A and B are shown apart, each in its own frame.
Chain A
Amino acid sequence: MTVPARIWTVVRSLLIPAALLGTWELLSRGGAAATYAFVPLRQVATAARTALSNGELIGNLIASAEHACLGLVAGGLAGLLLGACLGASRICDRILGPLFHGLRQVPLLGLAPLIGLSFGNGAGAKLLVIALAAFYPVALATAGGVRNVERAHLELGRALTLDRRQVFRHILLPAAAPAIASGFLQALAFAWLATIGSELLFTASAGLGSFMQQAEANGRMEMVIVGITAIALVGLAMNGLVIRAVHWLLPWHAVEQK
């Protein structure tokens, strides 16, 4: 691509955001009621600067990222375990599969009142929701990856008289790794959604969801917008990190960047 063409590409992708921001700013000048819903951009910028400089934003952001990572690891490992069982053993799939697919249909955040009642409204409940969110996609992807392993590879393994551990380590795991990787990528998006959701639904503590909930209660639209922007940026950053990690762990497998 030539340089002017590249500049044109950048300009073109910025046209719509610029138009949207312009419309927003125009709407914000339509009287007191409009200023409440469409806060002027200058006010948003000031709010962002304040929240950044007093450490409020960064603190909540780190807390949320911590919740998400913890839930992703806990739920992901559990999902890996169940998925491997479902994929490798047909009897396991027959017994646990229907229950797993049935429970999967219950909207996750709809479980919040139940979890709140049974496990309290605190950190444990949040972690459980986030872990569950990460659990389903990883289990599903792992089961699929293990199930779709090449028959010929398994037969080779048996011909070489590998024991079950060796079959798992040298055949099943490498074959299922790409599916597991995309499962984790999907799980990350769900875990992030569940993090924000659980912070909104459960008792306030540190976290971007609680930060926005408080801003909403105080009628501070500009702080809500700062929160949404931060959530978007953290989501993007985590997605990029996981894609990079997958490239590093599975260099032969190109993750579809969606």
Chain B
Amino acid sequence: MSLTHSTAIGARTELRATAPDGVRAARGFAPGVERSLGWLAPLALLTLWVATTRHASDGTAHVMVSPREVLDAARELAGSGELAAHVRASMGRLAVGFAVGASLGLAYGLVAGAFPAIRSLFGSTFHAIRQVPSIAFIPMLVLMFGVEETFKIVIVAKSTFFPVALATADGVRGVPRSFLDVARAYRVRGLNLLRYILLPATVPPIVTGLRIALGRSWMVLVAAEILAAESGLGQMMERGRQMLRLDVVLVGVLFTGVAGLALEEGMRLVERRLQRWRRA
């Protein structure tokens, strides 16, 4: 037994020696060095950016701005409170729309997951509307609700509703029958059934659905703000474009990106916390 084991390991080491160059090279690095490799590409890009914008003249200001100018623009926008106001406007819309869409999605998903009759009744309509890109509804919603807040909240709610409803329905349907059988055998009912069986089984997929929904709604909201808004990061970027202020546009791109990243990572954190038991 031990002989075959060691031969297997021996064979594997030998194979490793003939592995592609990249793989072998990476194995040679200390973990810290390997992790810091990730900074290489962004640093290279930044250096390239600085180098190409060093001698830029005023004539090319709308296609080339230096990192320093972007930083100055960010400081200026932050100092005047403009940036904070735009971020607040965008996040407020996202929060309200997301809350509405997620609650409706949860409610529909729970009902549709639990009752096949509801599924077969609403399923085709649900999937038909779901596969239309949210952004295609913007012209219709603008005509219905005008360009004010309502249309943005409705579009965010719409793009939140579908992923959440889908994930919830799948989560509810995916509760293994054996869990329910065990629960019945132990006479677990009511609140205990919910607390110890149904919630742990369904919450992780629902949180994944919420994370996907949040990312999509954020993108759709920014697009809606670019198309028609008085405030918000999307509107800030669009006005920057119209005034040929590349620095302002880049500040906007930076902040929408950071906001997207923060929302995504925040949801991932929640997801990991809820799935701690899986790793054990």
Complex interface: chain A residues within 8 A of B136 (CB): 196, 209, 212, 227-228, 231-232
Known: A20-B125, A105-B257, A212-B136. A114 touches B131 (CB 8 A): no
State the CA gap A236–B132 with chains docked (Å). Answer: 9
Minimal beta-carbon separation of B270 from chain A (angstroms):
17
Task: Give the nearest-CB partner of B237 in chain A.
Answer: A113
CB distance from B82 to the nearest CB of A (A): 16
Q: Residue A105 contacts which of B41, B124, B143, B264 (CB distance < 8 angstroms)? A: B264
| Cβ-Cβ contact count across A and B, 8 Å cutoff | 181
Residues of B within 8 Å of A159, CB to CB, are 15
Question: A106 an interface residue at 8 Å Cβ cutoff?
Answer: yes
Q: Is B59 an interface residue (CB 8 A)?
A: no
Decide if the interface of chain A is mainly helix, strand, loop or mixed. helix
Given A16-B122, A106-B253, A216-B142, is A197 in contact with B41 using a C-beta cutoff of 8 Å? Answer: no
* Chain B: interface size category: 35 or more
Q: Nearest CB to that of B41 among chain A residues?
A: A99
Query: Of B50-58, B98-106, B171-179, B218-226, which binds chain A?
Result: B218-226
* Pair A232/B257 contact, Cβ less than 8 Å: no
Interface size on A (CB < 8 Å)?
63
**A13→B219 contact, CB < 8 A:** no
User: Which residues of B are in contact with A by a Cβ distance under 8 Å?
Assistant: 12, 15, 18, 20, 22-23, 25-27, 34-35, 37-42, 45, 62-63, 120-125, 128, 131-140, 142-144, 218-220, 222-223, 226-227, 233-234, 237-238, 240-241, 244, 246, 249-250, 252-253, 256-257, 260-261, 264
Q: 26 interchain pairs (CB within 8 A)? A: A9-B120, A16-B121, A20-B125, A89-B22, A90-B26, A98-B38, A98-B39, A102-B42, A105-B261, A109-B222, A109-B226, A110-B222, A110-B233, A112-B223, A117-B244, A117-B249, A189-B131, A193-B135, A200-B135, A200-B138, A201-B223, A212-B136, A216-B140, A227-B136, A228-B136, A235-B132
